[in-house]
A and B are shown apart, each in its own frame.
Chain A
């Protein structure tokens, strides 16, 4: 994609692009990965404590405990987002706080809070899935394709 963009530029602009990409601050990839690993792992560890709690006290199984765990984590991320703590965690941890389901919760809740000044119907209702919508769209569509193909293979292909 970068090459396609460069073709439209004049030689001087191309030179400048090269110049600025050389001077661009290198991202500390390794450091970021370590941070993401520990924060992400920690969130999953909390999730494991919550799901153990559900397995132990409410008779869920290891597989079905995922659902109440996810709901609980989204509740926690609502509190943290509302209090402004989650943004700070996000700045520190990058993907470590975005990839777990708390990041999904954070994107919905922060969009809700941000747009409440525009009213509850047009603001909160209309913008709720502004960021999380792409996740739902691609999740649902890919799941639809995969499940359809698999069902056809099972029913008519005798898989």
Chain B
């Protein structure tokens, strides 16, 4: 049960970091997201993101930082087998769910819903 608690806390803290970047550093949402993704990728580069996932579960996999983590992860997994070329071929292996879900559901959304006002 502890994981539900930590998912809430860690997820909330990552969102607060985003909010501080909005309000204090005056970044646009796009800049904030891009920075967070790069931070996630860097954390995985130092092998720090996986322990966070073990600790906080969805609190670490749901925020956008996990996208950067998943990209590095896929690239590294493939690079172990095939060397440098694996960096390119494995990049989207882990994160394919997010991208393909966004594309598929985005298109379905465009079919189903009409723009408002």
* Contact surface of A with B, Cβ cutoff 8 Å: 27, 29, 32-33, 35-45, 47-52, 62-63, 65-71, 73-75, 78, 81-84, 94-96, 98-105, 108-109, 111-117, 120, 124, 128, 131-132, 134-140, 142-144, 146-152, 155
Contact = CB atoms under 8 A, between A and B. Distances in A.
Nearest to A136: B99
A137 B34 CA distance: 8
18 contacts: A32-B19, A36-B16, A37-B16, A38-B12, A40-B18, A44-B11, A48-B57, A51-B61, A71-B98, A96-B15, A101-B66, A104-B98, A135-B30, A142-B41, A149-B45, A150-B45, A151-B87, A155-B83
Main secondary structure of the interface of A (DSSP, over half): helix
Interface string B4-20: 10011111111111111
Interface of B: 3-4, 7-24, 29-30, 32-34, 36-38, 40-42, 44-45, 50, 53-54, 57-59, 61-64, 66-68, 70-72, 75-76, 79, 83-84, 86-88, 91, 94-103, 105-110, 112-116
B84 A148 contact: yes
B72 to A, nearest CB: 5
B74 to A, nearest CB: 8
B110 A120 contact: yes
B36 to A, nearest CB: 7
B68 A139 contact: yes
Contacts of B19: 29, 32-33, 35-37, 94-96
Main secondary structure of the interface of B (DSSP, over half): helix
B9 A75 contact: no
Contacts of A33: 16, 19-20, 23
A123 to B, nearest CB: 8
A151 B95 CA distance: 19
Contact of A78 (B34, B42, B94, B109): B109
Given A95-B18, A100-B15, A142 B42 contact: yes
B97 A71 contact: yes
Given A63-B50, A69-B58, A48 B7 contact: yes
Contacts of A117: 115
Contact of B37 (A29, A35, A70, A139): A139
Contact of A146 (B14, B32, B42, B113): B42
Contacts of B44: 146
A150 B86 CA distance: 12
